[in-house]
Amino acid sequence: MCSIQEGELLQPKRQPSSSLRDRKCMKCSNEETVVIIRINDAFCKDCFLQYCTHKFRSAFGKSRLIRDKEQVLVAHSGGPASCAMLHLIQEGTSRRAHKKLRFSSVLVFIDDGVFHGLTLVERKARNAQVLKQLISSGLDVHAYAIEQVMSTTSSASLGLPVQAVSADSFEILCSFDSECKQLEALLAATTSDTSRQSLQHVLRQRLLIQVANGMGINKVLLGNSTTSLAVQMMSNVAQGRGAHLLYDMSFADLRSTSVTFVRPMREFTTHEIEHYLLLNQLGTIDVISTGPKGLEGLTSDFVLGLQADFPNTVSTIMRTGEKIGVSHSEIDIDLCCSLCQAPLDTDVGPSSALAATQFSEVVSRGNRQSSRCSSEATECCGQGDGSCQSSTRCELPDLRRSLCYGCRLMCKDLKDTSLLPASVQSNALQVKNRAEMRASIQNFLIEDDDAK
């Protein structure tokens, strides 16, 4: 029984501060401590760097996901986790490495400054810094603009045009004026900061898939740390994406049928990453958004605030997410979201909470729709439930049926879903055609039980 009386507050128990000079390394017991992790584990510089290197390489060894001499795509954003991952890959593939990483890497940088409200001059300046850092690594580097996700080029052929970056040019070629205008129109039509952040993640993931398909690569390394994944988990649950926690938090994200997203920095906290960069004297280039934070930014402040007082907060969130994740052994392409490509979670019964929510929306909007929606209207009513009769449709019913619950909530904040990438509309139409074809031949299909 709880012993806390009404009105009493449970104050966090802060760990007693101890000077690093008074501690000895817990591993070698000889060198002076430079960092303390896991609340009370002290490491010297050499032992801490060995600890990080071993944790990074063991992530690949345990999974056995990447084969020898396989080519992988490394997504680099210029942030701390990406810089630490790039340095660990360089150390793991160098000649002096004791146990080498046996895959080859191709670096990919995506300029998404449009989401952060950066001007063209500011985007070019940041691109120059990031690409200069990547080129100094000696690896093959390719750069893209996020606007290219709006392109109609099929990823099944050659993918999007690869722009190799030379040492003489540190700018991404801005030759996608039409795609840029389409993306700006899409962002302007998004009425929620939370949905705009979610849209940024989805479009970045789609572009990485298109780039990987164009290069013939089926593994993409991401720099998600355990802290960022914990924040993402809390934010996604609040946005109706709880059914996809297994994909969002696992070491290998298998939601795409053609590309596997791998998170080798999954076991690293931001505290460990910061000290790794500091001890190796590595710089970072990050985007500072001055606009509203949205739900993800607020969740980050909340989780990091708890982590400061309760050091086990992030690890507890991660362990909880791993327990409640739902496993999907086989993925049917016809039953995947046309936007985020995760398995659909909307195939529920008529007595479900989702069905009740949709019924309440239709009933509550009925009176307004009868007065605003007509065949003579020239502007959309903005309801997004498929009943609008105006010439500008706010939401295509076929698209709505092909979206997961989280993407449906995100698209509610879009004034016009026709602004979404053409590939999304094409996927929705393909799913509709396959469903209609399957329904037309359903009576002629032989079931397994009948065959026996």
Question: What confidence score (pLDDT) does residue 153 get?
Answer: 57
Question: Does domain 65-327 match CATH 3.40.50.620?
Answer: yes
Taking Cα atoms as reference points, which of 193, 243, 174 lies closest to residue 404?
243
What letters, b where the CB count within 10 A reaches 16 and e where it falls short, cover 270-292?
bbbbebbbeeeeeebbebeeeee
pLDDT tens digit sequence for 187-205? 999 989 899 999 999 999 9
C-alpha of 72 from chain center: 18
Least confident of 25-39, 177-191, 239-253, 287-301: 287-301
- Tell me: pLDDT of 443 over 90: no
For the chain, the average pLDDT equals 78
- Tell me: pLDDT of 415 over 60: yes
Q: Residue 327, by phi and psi: left (phi above 0), alpha (psi -120 to 50) or beta?
A: beta
SS3 state at 105 = strand
pLDDT confidence band for 440 (50 / 70 / 90): confident
pLDDT confidence band for 327 (50 / 70 / 90): low
pLDDT tens digit sequence for 282-320? 887 765 555 567 888 899 999 999 988 888 899 999 988
Question: What confidence score (pLDDT) does residue 96 get?
Answer: 72
Question: What confidence score (pLDDT) does residue 331 get?
Answer: 63
- Tell me: pLDDT of 256 over 50: yes
DSSP 227-251: HHHHHHHHHHHHTT-GGGHHHHHSS
- Tell me: pLDDT of 1 over 50: no
> What residues contact 77, with CB distance under 8 A and at least 6 apart?
109, 110, 223, 286
The position carrying tokens 């790794």 is 276
Q: Which of 115-129, 253-267, 392-406 has the highest mean pLDDT?
A: 253-267
Question: What confidence score (pLDDT) does residue 262 get?
Answer: 94
Taking Cα atoms as reference points, which of 86, 311, 99 lies closest to residue 221?
86
Question: What confidence score (pLDDT) does residue 82 get?
Answer: 93
- Tell me: pLDDT of 23 over 60: yes
Question: What confidence score (pLDDT) does residue 11 get?
Answer: 42
Q: What residues are paired with 145 via a beta bridge?
A: 111
What letters, b where the CB count within 10 A reaches 16 and e where it falls short, cover 77-113?
bbbbbbbbbbbbbebbeeeeeeeebebebbbbbbbbb
Question: What confidence score (pLDDT) does residue 286 get?
Answer: 67
Percentage of the chain surpassing pLDDT 70?
A: 76
pLDDT tens digit sequence for 119-145? 888 888 888 888 888 888 888 888 888
DSSP 258-298: S-EEE-TTTT--HHHHHHHHHHTT---------S--HHHHH
Under 8 Å between Cβ of 59 and 264:
yes
Q: Token pair of 283, please?
A: 């710089």
Please state the pTM of the whole predicted model. Answer: 0.82
Question: What confidence score (pLDDT) does residue 16 get?
Answer: 42
pLDDT tens digit sequence for 343-394? 888 877 776 777 777 777 777 766 554 444 444 444 445 444 444 444 444 4
Q: Residue 42 — φ and ψ, nearest 5°?
A: -95, 140
Question: What confidence score (pLDDT) does residue 235 get?
Answer: 93
Q: How far apart are the first and last CA of the chain?
A: 58
Q: Which of 30-39, 205-214, 391-400, 408-417 has the highest mean pLDDT?
A: 205-214
The domain ranges of the chain are 18-64, 65-327, 353-451
Environment class of residue 69 by beta-carbon count within 10 Å: exposed (0-12), middle (13-18) or buried (19+)?
exposed
Least confident of 24-28, 222-226, 256-260, 394-398: 394-398
Q: Residue 359 — φ and ψ, nearest 5°?
A: -65, -40
The position carrying tokens 């016809």 is 334
